[in-house]
Amino acid sequence: MEVRVRFAPSPTGLLHVGNARLVLYNWLFARKEGGRFLLRIEDTDRERSFPEYERAILEDLRWMGLEWDGMLRQSERLPIYQDYARRLLEEGRAYPCYCTPEELEEMRRRCLEAGLPPRYDGRCRHLTERERRRLSSEGRRPSVRFLVEGGKTAFHDLIFGEQAFGNEQLGDFVILRQDRTPTYNFACVIDDHLMGITHVIRGQDHLPNTPRQIMIYEALGFPLPQFAHIPLLTDREGRPLSKREGATTVRGLRQQGILPVALANYLVLLGGIEAKGEVMGWEEMREAFRLEGISRQGATFDIEKLLWLNRMHLRRMKGEEISRELSSLLGREVDGEKLELFRENVTTLLDFADFLPILEEEVPPMKEEARKLLEGSDAQEVVAVALRVVEEGVRPEGLLEAMKRRTGKEGRALFLPLRAALTGRTDGPALGDILRRLDPPKVISRLKRALVPEEDGTKGI
């Protein structure tokens, strides 16, 4: 049997890394098993679903390299859900519920006051046809509730093992709202069946939904898929990750210069999956991934670990790959040869962008720490001598040796002032490597900029 899995986002916010982990695990499982990875947009919540979020989610998935084999949109399938609800009504497995929001809130309040979880009390379950007509004549539009029978619902979860829920705890639940749109649990079952989904891989927060869904599967005579619930990903304070917190959205990480492969690598490690090493490319991730190998323990999102992995991947990547990723991020073409100079000094793609002015601009921006360093008299002396040496005709690549002879200085006392003057910063690649890539006019312009203004108005830092 062909493996089929799906990712089913709601377009109510940006894709955060917790959901990115789920989509990655589905994708890896499908690719490893030679199956199909499908996408389903769950947009039946008309008030909270927005097309711009759907577009953003699809863009983020493409950026991650997680292409899908098919897609559907729930808002285009409403008649299908209504037909199945009608079938359950006809077979006595569901019934119309005429309760108002105020009545339902009162039930909820009474349950909470009694120390019980909120559940529907079943008051519309046994309404006569005459009572239903009367309520309809009052202008009440019914929802449709699934009729929950006694006993318990049990299933085997591929991550958490055997699970059982008492049906009496659930109460009769809504499958079709008053506006005839389906609820999550109902639409989920119908779509998973019609899409041929064999494995439902989703977050642990959906465990309580599973017994309700199994009841619907069984009432409609659908075969059950296998279920695998993934422990949730939290921040350092133990809070679930949010779609609206930029630092933990895929979009936010992309804008910070994180690589798709580094993010995927980190998300695989967060599953507790055993691998030969921590730094993995796509093929290594596919080889290491095992659904049954995912840990039951929750995981904490640690940006420092992700940054370390990003740095490792940047050092492994080919120059043209880095150039392609950076060009996409910046929206302009970037010369890959220039990037090689900075490879050992960067953690993210944005770090490359921060270093590029050293080679691309006549005079790069001056960072504050470099400005302060150049205010010292010793630094000013070094810069002034360097300017005279270059103006005398010494080529940039010979400047360091000429300065050692002319000043008698070496080490930090010589290199730091020159680095600050020539690059506008106090960190970066070897100064000699930078000088070999600069022409004399740029060197002269930068040294002049670094000199403190004299009383005659000479322009400097």
What are the boundaries of each domain within the chain? 317-355, 368-450
Tokens of 137: 């004549």
What's the pLDDT score for residue 152? Answer: 95
Q: How far is CA 360 from CA 123, 244, 307, 417, 440, in A?
A: 74, 36, 26, 21, 14
Contact 68, 37 (CB under 8 A): yes
Per-residue pLDDT at 243? 53
What pTM, to 2 d.p., does this model score? Answer: 0.90
DSSP letter at 207 equals: T
DSSP 80-105: HHHHHHHHHHHTTSEEEE---HHHHH
Tell me what pLDDT residue 311 has: 98
**pLDDT score recorded for residue 460:** 52
Write the single-letter amino acid at 376.
G
d(CA 189, CA 417): 68
- Residues annotated as catalytic (active site), given as ranges: 243
Query: Can you tell me the distance from the alpha carbon of 366 to that of 364, in angstroms, rounded to the nearest whole number?
Result: 6
pLDDT value, residue 77: 97
Q: What is the pLDDT of residues 100-119, one digit of tens each?
A: 999 999 999 998 998 888 88
CA distance 8 to 60: 14
- Which CATH class name applies to 368-450? mainly alpha
Checking DSSP bridges between strand 152-157 and strand 71-73, what pairing results, if any?
Answer: unpaired
Residue type, 12: T
Strands 71-73 and 36-41: parallel
State residue 453's pLDDT score.
64
> Which stretch of DSSP H or E encloses residue 4?
strand 4-7
Q: Which regions in the chain score pLDDT beneath 50?
A: 455-459
164 neighbors 223 (Cβ within 8 angstroms): no
Q: CA-to-CA distance for 358 and 425, rounded, in angstroms?
A: 9
CA torsion 221→225→228→232, rounded to 10°?
A: -60
> Distance (Å, rounded) from C-alpha 39 to C-alpha 61?
10
Contact 403, 385 (CB under 8 A): yes
Q: Is the CB of residue 58 less than 8 Å from the CB of residue 52?
A: no
pLDDT at residue number 47: 84
